[in-house]
Amino acid sequence: MIRLVAFLGNYGKKYEKTRHNAAWLFADSLPIFAGASWRTQFEGEYCVIETPRLSELFCKAGVLSSKDGSAHPVSDSAADKIYFLKPQTYMNNSGQSIIALAHYYKIKPEETLIVHDELELPAGTLSLKWSGGLGGHNGLRSAKAVFATADFWRLRFGIGRPLDGADIADYVLSPFGQDDKALLERAFSKAALLFAKLLLMPDPAKFLSDWKKVSA
């Protein structure tokens, strides 16, 4: 089950629309957070939503519902509540915030979903991944360091690599172009459904084969 979702990014006005903040842009696109009460703690901002309430919010937004249009039932084996976190340590030290919350609420690495941008996937691509390599992502590297394992879940949004040989750091800290922005927004629409299923159902592994790599 998933108990903690960490959206990786950099805080501050200058970074809010950049490629490295794809996860925060996704969080901002989710209707479930419209009335959420975010608190400042654990070197970040976090909120807590009970899973029955999450199901109601996803249903109201038209993301996931039962055949009769009612809220999707929450599995008895799913978490009773989900913690959502936006670390404010800057990307390279994201793990400090994640481990602070995880330790406090006794959340295991395998109960953690990290949402992040991914250079190794084409722009607009959506991918679910369990454990494995970090792809050179400093936010994931920080999370692995504090957890002492890479065994956590990742929801990845492809941003592609620069075509002109530009510096990677400059690229990920630059705003999305119009074409890539459109692709990302379409990926967000598909990701909302996957996101809802991951949080309301007990076994994320059942979605791996279908969501290893999905283009917008």
Distance of alpha carbon 70 from alpha carbon 59, whole angstroms: 7
- Tell me if residue 20 is catalytic: yes
| From 20, 72, 116, 137, active-site residue | 20
Give the β-pairing of 153-158 and 39-41.
Answer: unpaired
Distance of alpha carbon 158 from alpha carbon 181, whole angstroms: 11
What residues are labeled active site? 20
